[in-house]
Amino acid sequence: MRNACIFLALLVTTLVQTLPAHGQQGRRPVPAENGMVVTSHHLASQVGVDILKAGGNAVDAAVATSFALAVVYPAAGNVGGGGFLMYHGADGDVTAFNFREKAPIAATVDMFVGPDGMPDSENRHVNLLSTGVPGTVAGMVLAHDRLGSLPWASLVEPAIRLARDGFPYSWDMRTTGDWLRGLAENDPVYDAAVAAFTKGDDGNYAPGERFRQPDLARTLERIRDGGHDGFYRGETARLVANFMERHGGLITEEDLARYEAQELTPVHGTYRGYDVYGMPPPSSGGIATVTMLNILEGFDLAGMGHNSAAYLHVVTEAMRRAFADRAQYVGDGDFNPDLPLSALTSKHHAARLRSTMDLLAASESDSSAFNGIHILESEETTHFSVVDAEGNTVSMTYTLEHGYGNKIVVEGAGFLLNNEMGDFNPVPGYTDREGNIGTEPNQVAPQKRMLSSMTPTILAKNGQPFMAIGSPGGRTIINTVVQIILNVVDHGMDVAEAVEAARIHHQWLPDRTSFESGISPDTRRLYEMMGHDVTERGRQGQAMGIVIDPETGIRWGAADSRSFDGRAIGY
């Protein structure tokens, strides 16, 4: 009887919600006939567009944009972190660049096990032991060497000017000085951060004041002049290694000198006639995205209606299964050669997973499947998308992990350090229903890259780029990207409507779904009647997307309004 009532309620809701979905009224995508750059800070978007106007291609613009974000968006833009870049050329060339951070040579498998046998949060997320060997500079150098067209120095120069000459301090950064001073009261390791982000004895910066970063400008000058070695050898490397030695960190000059980025073959899938390209491990984003889309391809999602209870149910069940696979199998490919990538992204695997779904009742996430420990990924990452005049497309996500990383600036170098080591599984052999997850593929090892949820993604149609999308948000990134793809492909939304629409998140464990505001109470009640546990959340991600109209070639860009300073700029 209960199932019959649920079915009737779902039928009524689905009929009502088959009306066209419009997203937020008043939001419109930005059009451009030539190039488009969409980032979390308007100054970085402008830098990218200026490079395109000067004859640069999408990779040139991405390099310049990434360094500009390191200056104007220090919460996540960086030279001290790492990430991933997806590329799809107008000529059909598709490739991926992995510049995820690495564990230092001195790292050990039990370095984050506390005296009580549980994770040591201080070492994992706060102090210098949390810092992985940075990869961003190496990634930009490799991408430029492979695909860039303009001289390297010209791509770093705009960021140098922003750091040296300054820019208006953002309202989004208005509390930075206060909490950095609070940290420095108890630990001198934060003194350089206070010097970089405040006016010292003259107080904190106010929104609109000109904010200059001279030490960062000099670091960028060394990168401009020396490329890879301008960061990983010489003066910058010595500054990092000496700072680490003074304050108890592990990274040495040898760690930096040995770091190299990688060019990898993207994860590839198909969805309703579109090619889907995503990052391979150590990102879990490509595998999980393709798995979910393969599962959902078996349902009439448009007929269910956008964000109806029936729709959210099947999307949740796809999320649940993809995240269970992620936890069990995925880690750095260099350390996990037997990872079954082809099997996990196959249509056959998706059909088997789909067959385990009940269309009227939630599944139960089984925490006894294997043992591990929960990895809490920060939501303070940044993503940007670029399309140039030829149609070459870049989707890039990079991060420091937490906002401002571990809040530690290298003295004399002016840049923030990441706390990405916290993305490793710190304590093998423990799991619970509240989300404590972890497996052998992602345990700490020297020179290993930690697992990530970053999901820069490109969709193509008939060999031509169609959509570039990605978002920050820790583990929510994957689900944000998948829902935006569904909004465009299944529900016919333009890119701005797709980005603005309310989102949900489920990650297998803990076994509950978070809802953004904007999903109706009636839908939530029906969804809960199916056995789902729902919590409310604030914003989920800050997606930056571009869709290329296959008929007209017009680039439509959208910067998520969840981003304080984000903007899509085209020409």
Domain ranges across the chain: 2-31+286-376+452-570, 48-263+410-424
Report pLDDT digits (tens) over 390-403. 999 999 999 999 99
Q: Report the range of poorest mean pLDDT among 25-29, 310-314, 527-531.
A: 25-29
- Quick check: 114 pLDDT over 50? yes
Average pLDDT over residues 14-34: 55
Q: Which amino acid is at 116?
A: D
Report pLDDT digits (tens) over 477-507. 999 999 999 999 999 999 999 999 999 999 9
- Quick check: 354 pLDDT over 90? yes
Q: What's the whole-number average pLDDT of the chain?
A: 92
pLDDT at position 440: 82
Rounded distance between C-alpha atoms, residue 290 and residue 288, angstroms: 6
Percent of the chain predicted with pLDDT > 70: 91
Rounded distance between C-alpha atoms, residue 429 and residue 431, angstroms: 7
For the chain, what is the total number of helices (H) and then of strands (E)? 20, 19
How many beta carbons lie within 10 A of that of residue 30, not counting itself? 18
Q: C-alpha angle 488/490/495, rounded to 5°?
A: 10
Rounded distance between C-alpha atoms, residue 345 and residue 490, angstroms: 20
Q: Report the range of poorest mean pLDDT among 94-108, 417-431, 467-481, 536-550.
A: 417-431
Specify the fold of 2-31+286-376+452-570: Glutamine Phosphoribosylpyrophosphate, subunit 1, domain 1 (3.60.20)
Rounded distance between C-alpha atoms, residue 230 and residue 347, angstroms: 45
pLDDT at position 86: 98
Torsion angle of C-alpha atoms 155, 157, 159, 161, degrees rounded to 10: -160
Q: C-alpha angle 116/126/422, rounded to 5°?
A: 70
Helices (H), 414-570: 476-489, 495-500, 521-529
Beta strands in 328-456 (DSSP E): 381-387, 393-399
Rounded distance between C-alpha atoms, residue 62 and residue 569, angstroms: 14
pLDDT at position 429: 61
Rounded distance between C-alpha atoms, residue 276 and residue 460, angstroms: 7
Alpha carbon of 151 to those of 236, 387, 395: distances in Å? 22, 19, 21
Cis peptide before 74 (omega within 30 of 0): no
Question: Please, which pLDDT band fits residue 427 given cuts at 50, 70 and 90?
Answer: confident
Helices (H), 490-559: 495-500, 521-529
**Which of the two residues, 16 and 355, has the higher pLDDT score?**
355
pLDDT at position 174: 94
Whether residue 22 contacts residue 497, with contact meaning beta carbons closer than 8 Å, is answered with yes
DSSP secondary structure string, 6-34?
HHHHHHHHHHHTTSPP--STT--PEEESS
Report pLDDT digits (tens) over 61-73. 999 999 999 999 9
- Quick check: 372 pLDDT over 90? no
| Residues recorded for the chain | 571
Q: Of 251, 213, 233, 224, which is closest to residue 77 (Cα–Cα)?
A: 213
Rounded distance between C-alpha atoms, residue 168 and residue 174, angstroms: 11
Rounded distance between C-alpha atoms, residue 251 and residue 131, angstroms: 8
Rounded distance between C-alpha atoms, residue 398 and residue 454, angstroms: 8
Torsion angle of C-alpha atoms 351, 352, 355, 358, degrees rounded to 10: -110
Q: Kindly list the catalytic residues.
A: 381
Q: Of 503, 477, 480, 499, which is closest to residue 488 (Cα–Cα)?
A: 499
User: What is the DSSP secondary structure assignment for residue 442, as one 8-state letter?
Assistant: G
pTM here is: 0.94
Question: Please, which pLDDT band fits residue 148 given cuts at 50, 70 and 90?
Answer: very high
Burial 274-302 (b: 16+ CB within 10 A, else e): bbbbbbbbbbbbbbbbbbbbbbbbbbebb
Rounded distance between C-alpha atoms, residue 182 and residue 191, angstroms: 11
Strand partners, 275: 270, 460
Q: Which amino acid is at 43?
A: L
Strand partners, 387: 36, 393
pLDDT at position 19: 31
pLDDT at position 547: 98
Question: Please, which pLDDT band fits residue 89 given cuts at 50, 70 and 90?
Answer: very high
Alpha carbon of 316 to those of 134, 358, 363, 470: distances in Å? 34, 12, 10, 19
- Quick check: 91 pLDDT over 60? yes
Question: Please, which pLDDT band fits residue 433 given cuts at 50, 70 and 90?
Answer: low
